[in-house]
A and B are shown apart, each in its own frame.
Chain A
C-alpha cells in the first residue's frame, strides 16, 4: 500500500534551518510528484510547492520562495524539504503528499521554532 513516512518532531531555534524527510513506499516513486503543505491553526492549509521526483524540477508558491527548498533522493525514494531562517511564524505541521491531487499524505511533521 502507498505510504509516505515523514521524519519526527523538530524543536529548533529562530534563525536556524531544519530539513524534513518524506520516504515513499508502495508505488513507483518517480511516477508522481511530491507536494508539501503547511498547516497552522491560524492560516489553515497552505500549499508550499512540489518537486518532480524524476527530474528534480521544482515549483514553489511565491510565498515560500526563499523559505523552503525541495530536493529528492531517488535512490532512497525520499523527498526532503529544508526550511531556512526560521521564525516563530514557521511553527506548524508540515505534510508531504503524493502528486498534485494529494491522494496520499504523510503523517505530518511538527516543527516548533522557539528559543
Chain B
C-alpha cells in the first residue's frame, strides 16, 4: 500500500498568520491517465472530514482562496494563509491513484 506521510503532526498558528503542511507519498501519485489524485481534507472537531482540495491544486466548491495546494510526484503541500478560527482541526491528505487508496496520518492545526 502507498504510505502517505504528513508533517508536522501538529502545528500552532496565530490568527491571521500563514502555515503549510507537507504530505509525502511512498510512490509517485501520477496515474496512468496522467492525473494526480491527491486530495486534502479538513476535519473540524466533532465533524466529518470535508474536502478542501482535489487533484493537487483545485479548490472544492465554497473553499476560500486562503487554501492552496501544490506539488507533484511524491511531494505535496497545503498552504493556509490568513488563518481564521474556522480553519482549526485536523488536516488529512489522501491518494486515490493506487489501490487501496490511503490517507495520511493527519496534521492538527491549533491556535498559538
Contact = CB atoms under 8 A, between A and B. Distances in A.
Given A45-B92, A46-B103, A102 B60 contact: no
Interface in B93-110: 94, 96, 99-106
A101 B39 CA distance: 8
A58 interface: no
Interface in A71-115: 95, 100-108
B49 interface: yes
13 contacts: A45-B94, A47-B101, A47-B102, A61-B101, A62-B100, A95-B49, A101-B96, A102-B39, A102-B49, A103-B51, A103-B60, A105-B49, A106-B48
Given A45-B106, A105-B49, 13 more contacts: A44-B92, A44-B105, A45-B94, A46-B103, A61-B99, A61-B100, A95-B48, A95-B49, A102-B39, A102-B41, A103-B54, A105-B48, A106-B48
B92 A63 contact: no
B12 interface: no
A101 B99 CA distance: 13
B28 interface: no
A102 B41 CA distance: 9
Contacts of B103: 44-47
